[in-house]
Amino acid sequence: MAKARTTRASAGTHRMTTGEAAVAALAAHGLDTIYVLPGVHNDDFFDALAKTIGSTSTAAKIRTVHTRHEQGAAYMALGAALATGKPQAYCVVPGPGLLNSAAALLTD
């Protein structure tokens, strides 16, 4: 029988969660604000965002703007992108949340 291959993180290294990797990627691309409507589907992402609040790294600080509706999050990101000329981001739950934000997402 073949032995399952396992890997271990070496001492002193930190294994990133998917949420932490997503937040790090947003910060690496210069995003300083994200427009959101949290939900249970993206709790890990918001846990990772919360970890950046007390961070001393200036690259990791991302301001979170909570909205009341998915369309609000998407249109706020669109408005910020049009006003600043820089890419913006928003985060909503999958399914109906994404569908509710589709109008702003598809606006050119």
All structural domains of the chain? 18-105 (3.40.50.970)
Residue 35 forms beta bridges with which residues?
65, 90
Structure tokens at 78: 């669109």
Edge-first strand listing for the sheet containing 33-36? 63-66, 33-36, 89-91
**Mean pLDDT computed over every residue of the chain:** 85
52, 108 contact by CB (below 8 A): no
Cα–Cα distance, 96 to 82 (Å, whole number): 25
Average pLDDT of the residues in 41-47: 91
pLDDT at residue 61, as a whole number: 80
Is the pLDDT at 37 greater than 90, yes or no?
yes
Alpha helix locations (H) across 57-95?
A: 70-84
52, 60 contact by CB (below 8 A): yes
pTM to 2 decimal places: 0.78
